Amino acid sequence: MIDLHTHSTASDGTLSPAGIVHRAAQAGLSAVALTDHDTTAGIEEFMEAARGGPVRAIPGVEIACRWYGANLHLVGLFIDPACPVLQELLARVRHARTERNLKVLDILAELGCPLEPCDIAPEEPLAAVGRPHVARALVRRGHCQSVSQAFARFLKRGKPAYVRRELPLPSECVAAIHAAGGVAVWAHPMTTRGPAAARARRPLRHLFGHGLDGLEVCYVDYSPRQEAAARKLLEEFGLLPSGGSDFHGDNIPGVRIGTGRDNLAIPDTWVEPLEQRAEGFRTETA
């Protein structure tokens, strides 16, 4: 089995990049991808931890983009983290995160829950700071009793401290992933975090037109009906299958690397076609 969608402390997970590798080995996986939000800061540690071990480490990233008001997430797999085009895009996205976070802190202060920027500052300079960091700071400062309460009271969409951030276009994200020699996969297209299944075809047609390579057809939050719909779209557009647990450690309790909520079993055979597609992009950019 494999897992092509996980997050570490370089973004909003609670396991270190090396910890992702060790947990994947404990789960008996043959391969795992680190796909932190808007950053490749954990890739070096991740790859080093897997060197000579039983688990193959696949360098990746997850980038949020916006299309006609909908938030879409693209996972890049087999990327070269040193690619200047990719890093320029990620730096721009992280800057937008920083601007959003400062607005969130201003709102929280007005609501009687003051936090300082240092309360949410990451240890790694290139790490991506998001709402989970703010939620944990609210707990540490005694403003909330738990991360889930912080989201429910303040940080979820529609709550008083939710601030929408500026996101790049899907075409920019796909191009940057390809420039980095990676494959671009639409992450969790059937969940409430993306368009509903009935509306997925239109954005998929747009993404496909800009070079989308794959689709997550196995995902921790899919119902059987959603997975069946994703597989149908996969065949219709001739895309490559991918999938993963979207593991975040303790930030999303009950989700395990590789198996999700005991509803995942992603086959090893999905790795080679994705890697071959990525090799084609590396040849083009060489």
State the pLDDT at residue 270. Answer: 98
State the pLDDT at residue 71. Answer: 84
State the pLDDT at residue 67. Answer: 81
Q: Among 110, 131, 155, where does a domain finish? A: 155
State the pLDDT at residue 283. Answer: 78
Distance CA 279, CA 277 (A): 5
59-80 pLDDT, tens digit each: 999 999 988 777 899 999 999 9
> What string of H, E and C letters represents the secondary structure of 244-280?
ECCECHHHCCCCECCCECCCCCECHHHHHHHHHHHHH
230-276 pLDDT, tens digit each: 999 999 999 999 999 999 998 888 999 999 999 999 999 999 999 99
The CATH number of the domain holding residue 121 is: 1.10.150
Poorest-confidence range of 15-29, 36-50, 55-69, 79-93? 55-69
User: In this model, does residue 27 exceed pLDDT 60?
Assistant: yes
Q: Is 180 inside a domain boundary?
A: yes
Q: Is 182 inside a domain boundary?
A: yes
Is-contact 188 223, C-beta < 8 A?
Answer: no
Q: Is 65 inside a domain boundary?
A: yes
State the pLDDT at residue 127. Answer: 67
Q: Is 161 inside a domain boundary?
A: no
Q: Is 69 inside a domain boundary?
A: yes
Residue ranges of alpha helices (H) inside the chain are: 17-26, 43-50, 84-110, 131-140, 147-150, 170-179, 201-209, 224-237, 271-285
User: In this model, does residue 196 exceed pLDDT 70?
Assistant: no
| 22 plus 131 within the same structural domain | no
Amino acid (1-letter code) at residue 187 = A
* Across 163-177, average pLDDT: 92
State the pLDDT at residue 238. Answer: 96
Instruction: Identify which has the larger pLDDT, 154 or 98.
Output: 154
Look at the chain and report how many structural domains it folds into.
Answer: 2
| 220 plus 244 within the same structural domain | yes
Which residues, other chains included, contact 59 with Cβ-Cβ below 8 Å and sequence gap of 6+?
A: 33, 34, 40, 43, 46, 47, 77, 78, 79, 80, 81
Grade residue 97 by pLDDT with cuts at 50, 70 and 90: confident
| 34 plus 110 within the same structural domain | no
The CATH number of the domain holding residue 47 is: 3.20.20.140
| 170 plus 266 within the same structural domain | yes
For 245, the domain range is: 2-90+166-285
99-158 pLDDT, tens digit each: 888 999 999 999 999 999 888 877 666 567 778 889 989 999 999 999 889 999 999 889
Highest mean pLDDT among 78-92, 112-126, 158-172: 78-92
| 83 plus 101 within the same structural domain | no
User: Does this model's pTM top 0.75?
Assistant: yes
Grade residue 169 by pLDDT with cuts at 50, 70 and 90: very high
Grade residue 55 by pLDDT with cuts at 50, 70 and 90: very high
User: In this model, does residue 166 exceed pLDDT 90?
Assistant: no
Q: Among 155, 178, 202, where does a domain finish? A: 155
